Amino acid sequence: MLCIHSVSNFGKYTSKLKSSTLAVKAHCPPLGLESLKVSDDQLESSSYLSVGVGPHRGRLNIQSGLEDDDEYDGAWCAGVEDQEQWLQVNALRPTLFTGVILQGRNSIWSLNWVRTYKVQFSNDSSVWEPCMNGTEEAVFVGNEDLETPVLALFPEPSVAQYIRINPQTWFSNGTICLRAEVLGCPVPDPDNPHFSETEHGSSDDLDFRHHNYNEMRKLMKSVNDKCPDITRIYTIGRSYTGLKLYVMEISDNPGKHELGEPEFRYVAGMHGNEVLGRELLLNLMQYICREYKRGNQRIVQLVKDTRIHLLPSMNPDGYEQAYEKGSELSGWALGRYSFEGIDMNHNFPDLNTIMWDAQEMAMGKRRVSNHYIPMPEYYTSTEALVAPETRAVISWMQDIPFVLSANLHGGELVVTYPFDCTRDWIPRQDTPTADNDFFRWLATVYASTNLVMANPERRICHYEDFHQHNNIINGGDWHTVPGSMNDFSYLHTNCFEITVELSCDKFPHASELPVEWENNKESLLLYMEQVHRGIKGVIRDKDTRVGIANAVIKVDGLDHDIRSAVDGDYWRLLNPGEYKITVWAEGYFPRIRHCSVGSEPQATICDFTLTKTSQDRLKQILASGGKIPRDNQVRIRALRMRKLRASTKILNRRREQQQRQNRVKRK
């Protein structure tokens, strides 16, 4: 039975409702309390304890600040403890309400949740009718803890404009506090001014839905089938449970590093329940394939000039957990960690501390390596708590000379840049790299073109107001993250990497995906194009003209060097300006050039030819006490990388043996 609460203009389309809305009532999406589609003005309550727990905080999965009772607390809490309290949502238009999802208060200091509740509906916010279960008023089961979302579907879906959640019982040692989401489908209403407000979707014909592991593989294969000349699918390893980590390569010559062509990567799904990045990368590979075939010159140029690598799911085990529960019921943490319970954003070697400790102990800063810092010995052992997914990504980073990357997360709207780890693990402190100005540029490129971040009227997600930072922030100035992938990428490889927090909602409903694609499409493309800023070139032996690998490229005034790739080519990301560049390699005389970087995203060619030193001259310099630049870091790095791969193989064999034994036991 369909409940339609009588109001004069409803009669015009009641018969149409019965045929059209009943078919979709079980699939109604969330109104958008969690995603902020529902504004603060649409939320009211009977009372509230303080401003920090007002009705605007009654949103599913909203996170509190460090202190309870501040301006940004973790729920709506009623100011009076009785059964007459309510949280009300104005849907702005007639809506088929089908259910409610409830959650307790987010807090580390107190325990508050609603155990049972009733629901009422209204068309004018004056006359209210209860949600019925047959002849009795329905009472719904709520929560028994702070974080687990609990869904209640209504026995009779009801059409109204307003809905109230009316708590009846609550945790005995707490008070009335809740976070909520409401499920509902908009209903056509020609006489309502909000009827003309259509949902903004996307004009791009892409596969806008959530894809589990098998569906992701099928989609990637379909893209490869449509664009075999510019795409290649490969794997970099497996998850703990054996799921492959698939990468889509997009290039005009897939499978091969081309001399002088920079390598770019996007990584998503490090936290398995932060799923928007996964879907955006699947959208991106579809979009590039389609637009390339259509002859879109921007896309054609990007594909010809760049070798692009897209890893949509770094943590497929965690994703499958979250996917099984669904977008609203997976909560804030389910699927975040690896199968072994490892947070992979803290699982890379902490090279920051190694570098900073060496700087404090050294007589001079120049004696301390500022790049290609090798992994610590403990990290490469089989006993180290390193996820197989992390090991696979490290090997990937070693194998390909990436220049630029972004790590896609969710749960906030902000772009962060290294360093993520603070000195001495101070909880929060601005900790810039030598390339701070360029990192700020990279972060600004993404944030300023993201349609939500760039909106000055948007509501903050949880408790941090990133508008004051123009929606970018140094990672350490937000919260310290020892062992982050961003910091490791910068200190162990040539690659610059930032983190993009894509949305307030970690797991947006499928209906939100077209809008999210439009919010991020330009940002994703423009950020990739930044790989062509700065200088690039090839470092060759003067006599043989062969490229020199592992030559050091030093920019005067920037205490962060990079190295040439296997073929001798290099890329140094830089802001516009004039630079003094010094290049040296073991066994060669150093060479200095002045290179100019323009404002256009087109790297300046700055090639070098190096002359070998004679062995007699080398011995003479050393005998007289002189110093030739030497660096054992590359050798140490290579040895430890081999150890890491060897220990990974041992661990994989152990896991396979254990799995075989488990299968035998089950038989």
The C-alpha atoms of residue 55 and residue 548 are separated, in whole angstroms, by 64
Q: What is the pLDDT, as a whole number, of residue 356?
A: 93
DSSP state, 557? T
Q: Is the pLDDT of residue 195 over 60?
A: no
Which one of the listed residues 464, 501, 512, 529 is annotated catalytic?
501
In this predicted structure, the answer to whether residue 9 has a pLDDT above a threshold of 50 is no
* Same domain assignment for residues 399 and 423: yes
Q: What is the pLDDT of residue 10?
A: 39
**Structural domains of the chain, count:** 4
Q: Does residue 224 share a domain with residue 176?
A: no
At 97, is the secondary structure helix, strand, or coil? Answer: strand
By three-state DSSP, how is residue 14 classified?
A: helix
Are both 291 and 335 inside the same structural domain?
Answer: yes
Whether 651 is in a domain gets the answer yes
Q: What distance in Å separates the CA atoms of residue 524 and residue 312, rounded to the nearest whole number?
A: 14
CATH number for the domain including 571?
2.60.40.1120
* H-run or E-run covering 182: strand 177-186
Asked whether residue 256 falls in the same domain as residue 336, the answer is yes
Residues 543, 521: one domain?
no
**Per-residue pLDDT at 636:** 77
Query: What's the residue count for the chain?
Result: 667
> What is the rounded distance in angstroms from the CA atom of residue 51 to the CA atom of residue 36?
18
Which of 509, 530, 551 is where one domain is finished? 530
Q: Is 30 domain-assigned?
A: no
570 dihedral zone (left: phi>0; alpha: psi -120 to 50; beta): beta
3-state secondary structure of 170: strand
Residue 137 domain-assigned (yes or no):
yes
- Are 515 and 565 part of one and the same domain? no
pLDDT digits (tens, 9 = 90+) for 281-330: 999 999 999 999 999 999 999 999 999 999 999 999 999 999 999 999 99
**One domain, residues 129 and 230:** no
**CATH no. for residue 243?**
3.40.630.10
Question: Which H or E run contains 320?
Answer: helix 316-325
- Per-residue pLDDT, 639: 80
Do 228 and 176 share a structural domain? no
Q: Are residues 131 and 235 in the same domain?
A: no
Please write the tens of the pLDDT for every residue from 10-44: 333 333 444 344 444 458 999 999 999 999 999 99
Structural tokens at position 281 = 């990368």
Query: DSSP character for 581?
Result: E
Q: Which two tokens stand for residue 20?
A: 């059209």
List pLDDT tens digits, range 546-595.
999 999 999 999 999 999 999 999 999 999 999 999 999 999 999 999 99
Inside any domain, residue 594: yes
Residue 309 and residue 361 in one domain: yes
Mean pLDDT taken over the chain: 90
Same domain, 370 and 296: yes
Give the percent of the chain with pLDDT over 70: 90
Whether the full predicted model's pTM is greater than 0.85, yes or no, is yes
- Give a yes or no: residue 159 inside a domain: yes
**Which element (helix H / strand E) includes 78?**
none
Give the whole-angstrom CA distance, residue 220 versus residue 13. 43
Domain membership of residue 524 as a residue range: 213-530
Among residues 504, 530, 556, the one where a domain terminates is 530
Residue 515 lies in a domain: yes
Active site residue 501: yes
Does position 367 have pLDDT exceeding 80, yes or no? no
Whether residues 314 and 407 fall in one domain:
yes
DSSP for 356-390 reads HHHHHHSSSGGGS--SSPPPPGGGGSTTS---HHH
User: Do β-strands 591-597 and 263-268 pair in parallel, antiparallel, or remain unpaired?
Assistant: unpaired
Residue partners of 375: CB distance under 8 A and separation at least 6: 349, 351, 394, 492, 637, 640, 641, 644
Whether 189 has a pLDDT exceeding 80, the answer reads no
pLDDT value for 29: 95
Q: Residue 52 in contact with residue 73, Cβ under 8 Å?
A: yes
27 is a domain residue: no
Note the pLDDT tens digit of each residue in 343-359: 999 999 999 999 999 98
The answer to whether position 507 is within a domain reads yes
Last residue of a domain, which of 512, 530, 548? 530
pLDDT confidence of residue 651: 81
